Amino acid sequence: MPAPLRLGLAGLGTVGVGVVRIVQRHADLIAARAGRPVQVIAVSARDAARDRGVDLSAYAWEADPVALARRDDIDLFVEVMGGSEGPARLATEAAIDAGKDVVTANKALLAHHGQALAEAAETAGRVIRFEAAVAGGIPVIKALTEGLAGNRIGRVMGVMNGTCNYILTRMESAGLPYETVFEEARQLGYLEADPNLDVGGIDAGHKLSLLAAIAFGTRVSFDRVELEGIGKVSIDDIRHAADLGFRIKLLGVAQMTGRGLEQRMTPCLVPADSPLGQLQGGTNMVVLEGDAVGQIVLRGPGAGEGPTASAVMADVIDLARGVRLPTFGQPATSLVEPVAAAAATPAPHYLRMTLLDKPGALAKIATELGAAGISIDRMRQTQHQGAHAPVLIVTHKAAPQDVAHAMTRFAGTGVLVGEPVAIRIEEV
Of positions 50, 334, 359, 383, contacts a copy of itself by CB under 8 A: 334
138 forms part of the interface with a copy of itself (CB under 8 A): yes
292 forms part of the interface with a copy of itself (CB under 8 A): yes
For 267, list phi and psi in degrees, rounded to 5.
Answer: -65, 135
Of positions 309, 394, 415, 422, contacts a copy of itself by CB under 8 A: 309
54 forms part of the interface with a copy of itself (CB under 8 A): no
Of positions 48, 293, 339, 363, contacts a copy of itself by CB under 8 A: 293
53 forms part of the interface with a copy of itself (CB under 8 A): no
Q: Which of 100, 107, 142, 207 is catalytic?
A: 207
Of positions 67, 143, 235, 417, contacts a copy of itself by CB under 8 A: 143
121 forms part of the interface with a copy of itself (CB under 8 A): no
298 forms part of the interface with a copy of itself (CB under 8 A): yes
Give the separation between CA 365 and CA 285, rounded to whole angstroms. Answer: 37
357 forms part of the interface with a copy of itself (CB under 8 A): no
For 408, list phi and psi in degrees, rounded to 5.
Answer: -70, -35
- 27 versus 60: smaller Cβ distance to a copy of itself: 27
Active site residue 100: no
315-345 per-residue burial string, b: 16 or more CB within 10 A, e: under 16: bbbbbbeeeebbbbbeebeebeebebbeebb
124 forms part of the interface with a copy of itself (CB under 8 A): no
Determine contact, residues 39/73, Cβ cutoff 8 Å. no
Give the separation between CA 147 and CA 135, rounded to whole angstroms. Answer: 16
Give the separation between CA 27 and CA 182, rounded to whole angstroms. Answer: 41
245 forms part of the interface with a copy of itself (CB under 8 A): no
Of positions 330, 381, 382, 413, contacts a copy of itself by CB under 8 A: 330
340 forms part of the interface with a copy of itself (CB under 8 A): no
Nearest of 112, 67, 72 to residue 94 by alpha carbon = 67
Rg of the chain on CA atoms, in Å:
24
Determine contact, residues 65/86, Cβ cutoff 8 Å. no
Give the separation between CA 89 and CA 51, rounded to whole angstroms. Answer: 26
Of positions 7, 30, 121, 167, contacts a copy of itself by CB under 8 A: 30
Q: How many residues does the chain have?
A: 428
- 325 versus 376: smaller Cβ distance to a copy of itself: 325
Look up residue 192 and give its DSSP letter. Answer: -
- 19 versus 110: smaller Cβ distance to a copy of itself: 19
Of positions 65, 229, 301, 420, contacts a copy of itself by CB under 8 A: 301
- 42 versus 298: smaller Cβ distance to a copy of itself: 298
35 forms part of the interface with a copy of itself (CB under 8 A): yes
SS3 201: coil
26 forms part of the interface with a copy of itself (CB under 8 A): yes
Element at 120 (helix H, strand E):
helix 107-123
- 273 versus 377: smaller Cβ distance to a copy of itself: 273
85 forms part of the interface with a copy of itself (CB under 8 A): no
Quick note: the x/- pattern for a copy of itself over 208-237, rule CB under 8 A, is: ---------x--------------------
322 forms part of the interface with a copy of itself (CB under 8 A): yes
Of positions 53, 150, 386, 418, contacts a copy of itself by CB under 8 A: 150
SS3 3: coil
Nearest of 195, 229, 218, 222 to residue 206 by alpha carbon = 222
- 138 versus 227: smaller Cβ distance to a copy of itself: 138
Give the separation between CA 60 and CA 81, rounded to whole angstroms. Answer: 17
Q: Kindly tell me the burial class for residue 292, based on how many C-beta atoms sit within 10 Å of its own C-beta (0-12, 13-18, 19 or more).
A: exposed
Give the separation between CA 373 and CA 189, rounded to whole angstroms. Answer: 46
Strand extents, DSSP E, 134-210:
153-159
For a copy of itself, the binding residues (CB under 8 A) are 18, 21-22, 26, 29-30, 32-35, 131, 137-139, 142-143, 146-152, 217, 273, 275, 278, 290-301, 306-307, 309-314, 316-318, 321-326, 329-331, 334
Q: Which residues are known to be catalytic?
A: 207
